[in-house]
A and B are shown apart, each in its own frame.
Chain A
Amino acid sequence: MQFWALIVDAFRESRDRKIFWVLVVMTFVIVACMLCIGFEQDRVTFLFGAWEVEGAYYSPLSAIGRSHIIGLAVYLLVPVFLGWIGVILMIVATANMFPNLMERGAVDVLLAKPLGRPRLFLYKYLAGMTFVLFQAALFVGSTFLVLGFRWRVWVPGYLLCIPLLVLLFSYLYCVSVLVAVRTRSAVAATLVTLFAWVLFAAPAIALDTYEQFPGMKQDNRMYRTLRTVARIMPKTRDIPYLAARWTNAGVSMDIFPRTVMEAGLDEEKRAQLERAREKEHDELAKNPAFSIGSSLLFEAAVVVCAMWMFNRRDF
């Protein structure tokens, strides 16, 4: 009863924010744009046939065409719209949930209820994710239907993007909550969370860069440290690969026709492209249990720390 009350309240709170409606409108705009595009056997049509481009790379009738279409959704639509723009907006929108909760006069009534501080904190934490759950479900659900009905590509695995997006958001939300509990400031929570997002990805990016140079030794202290830190940190960069893996989308490069990519490229460029493709194959082959498990472990540690601070605090 109490959990449900907090969930409903969180939804009402998020619905009261403009960002909520901005994201809803953006979703409908994207869905409308997708509806305007049609993939036929040998061509792509725009604006319901007003404009056509020949090409069989996106034909939903062929396996490679289906892969391209799914890749378009998994690597472009979801990560760019929800994975980047959406998550940033959601971080901003949810940053003041805990500062609002902890405001004098507001928290007093809640703490005087037979709930207990740890439970109140955890319920509120989970309730905070209803915002992203709703937005992810709306976006992925509606694009799933467009993929199916309009583009004739039914991919049930694509719906896993919903929990994956919630997961990505939760890796960051824990930081936002920790900062909010410590400072009671939504601005501080937003800025630190965005910085943390960069920080989480930094070790993995540094490792990638390191590995780009074949001459560099991979057994020195710096490399080992980077690898250890990358293993501990939440793996935000793995989310698109996990989505691709579960939707059998193949590697991201496939969304652009190989001939287009390779046309006019010199030997060195082609080699770089091949390395990138290999890298993505490696990413797709990663153990999802380790990626999600270690990230959740990090999140749990941050949440426990924030909860401890919340429990100790006088209001």
Chain B
Amino acid sequence: MVGLTEMTNWAVDLIEVRKTYGRRIQALRGVNIQVGRGEIFGLLGPNGAGKTTLVKIMTTVVRPTQAAGTILGRPIGHRGKLGRVGYLPENHRYPPYLTGVQLLDYYGALAKVPQGRRRENARRLLDRVSMTQWADTRIDKYSKGMMQRLGLAQALINDPELLVLDEPTDGLDPVGRRDVRELLVELKRAGTTIFLNSHLLSEVERVCDRVSILVEGLVARQGTLRELTERTVEYRITVSGGAEALRGKLAIAGATVEGSVVTLSTPDLGRVNEVVDLLRAAGVLIEAVEPRRFSLEDILVQAMGRPLGRAALGPAATPPRV
């Protein structure tokens, strides 16, 4: 059995993960997620969706009610493989009496990193997260952003194969966020698998290969960013004027008019052409026709079962079983 799972190419293969707190609160209701080796995977979802619970189950902080699958080819919680995982929790707290270097040495030792490599890694990582000058300062003197940088270095002290990050840019300024993004891309190039839990959609959009959207303890959407965002939400037709007079007819065709913009909430190209014909027949000059694709935000909002603002997409999508 172990031999078979070792052969899987998934870095993370979670099958039917369930977690019930007490008897009533179902945080996770059968989550299935697969993350390929060497990819950056984003976990999205509204507050209370169960994202942090899932991350904590992967890192053995929370005990699952039911879980199967593997992390780096071994059952979840396998001690040997935990040594190959780096983890940055959300709202982490580190012993305030340690300096930056001492902290990295401490957590490196707990991750069974040999002393020589620990020292080398500590200096290299502190330099990588721009914390070298603070290396020997007690961490209770650090700002939140500095703590976050140190947390990242801590997660990398064991040269992990799998890096699990829970809100890694929390507390960082724009420059710090950019640094983190660059670091993630760098790590990906080096072959590290990254499991990123973040509520910052722009961040996820920029770095993730694939994402999963968790809603009420279930995977509502999962796929590559392209797969998720290729669908067109609506078309915007920019006209030179005169569309207001056609408001009634356009409404019948399912379009709305606002100034010089006619919006048609449909992915159906045939209907778009019908509206264009209607406008042209009335002598309205068309300046541009722009399809608007799904953004990650749209997908998230839709997955949560809410209409997408003006461009409601009809009935809310029911979370499919993956």
Which residues of A pack against B, CB within 8 Å? 1-2, 4-6, 8-9, 12-13, 15-16, 100, 103-117, 312, 314-315
Contact = CB atoms under 8 A, between A and B. Distances in A.
A13 B95 contact: yes
A314 B109 contact: no
Contacts of B59: 108, 111-112
A6 B93 CA distance: 16
Nearest to A2: B110
Contact of B109 (A5, A15, A117): A5
28 contacts: A1-B112, A2-B112, A5-B109, A6-B110, A9-B95, A12-B102, A13-B97, A15-B97, A16-B96, A105-B91, A106-B92, A106-B94, A108-B59, A108-B87, A109-B87, A109-B89, A109-B94, A112-B60, A113-B107, A113-B110, A114-B81, A114-B82, A114-B111, A314-B21, A314-B62, A315-B56, A315-B61, A315-B62
B154 interface: yes
Interface residues of B, number: 34
Nearest to A106: B93
B106 interface: yes
Contact of B93 (A1, A9, A105): A105
A12 B98 contact: yes
A1 B111 CA distance: 9
A9 B106 contact: yes
A2 B111 CA distance: 8
B85 to A, nearest CB: 7
A105 B110 contact: no
Contacts of B82: 112-114
A143 to B, nearest CB: 29
B83 A114 contact: yes
Interface in B42-98: 56, 59-63, 79-83, 85, 87, 89-98
B79 A116 contact: yes
A103 B110 contact: no
With most chain A CB atoms within 10 A of its CB, the pick from B94, B97, B102 is: B97
A103 B89 CA distance: 12
Contact of B107 (A1, A105, A109, A312): A109
A111 B107 CA distance: 11
Contacts of B93: 103-106
Contacts of A8: 106
Contacts of A110: 110
Contacts of A111: 59-61
A111 B62 CA distance: 9
Interface of B: 21, 56, 59-63, 79-83, 85, 87, 89-98, 102, 105-107, 109-112, 154, 164
Contacts of B85: 112
Nearest to A110: B110
Q: Considering residues B85, B91, B109, which has the most beta carbons from chain A within 10 angstroms of its beta carbon?
A: B109
A110 B82 CA distance: 11
B87 A115 contact: no
Contacts of B97: 12-13, 15-16
Nearest to B96: A16
Contacts of A2: 109-110, 112
Nearest to A115: B110
A6 B107 CA distance: 10
A312 B164 CA distance: 23
A47 to B, nearest CB: 40
A269 B121 CA distance: 73
A312 B62 CA distance: 9
A1 B95 CA distance: 19
A314 B60 contact: no
Nearest to A15: B97
B79 A115 contact: yes
Nearest to A4: B109
B193 to A, nearest CB: 15
Contacts of A109: 87, 89, 92, 94, 107, 154
Nearest to A116: B79
List the 4 closest pairs (A to B, CB-CB), nearest first.
A5-B109, A105-B93, A108-B89, A114-B83
B65 to A, nearest CB: 10
Given A107-B61, A314-B61, A315-B62, 18 more contacts: A1-B109, A5-B105, A13-B95, A13-B97, A105-B89, A105-B93, A106-B94, A108-B61, A108-B87, A108-B92, A109-B89, A109-B107, A112-B89, A113-B107, A113-B110, A114-B111, A114-B112, A315-B56
Nearest to A120: B110
A150 B95 CA distance: 42
B111 A113 contact: yes
Contacts of A9: 95, 98, 106
Contacts of B81: 114
Contacts of A4: 109
Given A12-B97, A104-B93, A314 B110 contact: no
B95 A5 contact: no
B318 to A, nearest CB: 29
> Most chain-B Cβ atoms within 10 A of its Cβ — which of A100, A110, A111, A113?
A113
A112 B61 contact: yes
Nearest to B166: A108
A304 B36 CA distance: 40
Nearest to A313: B63
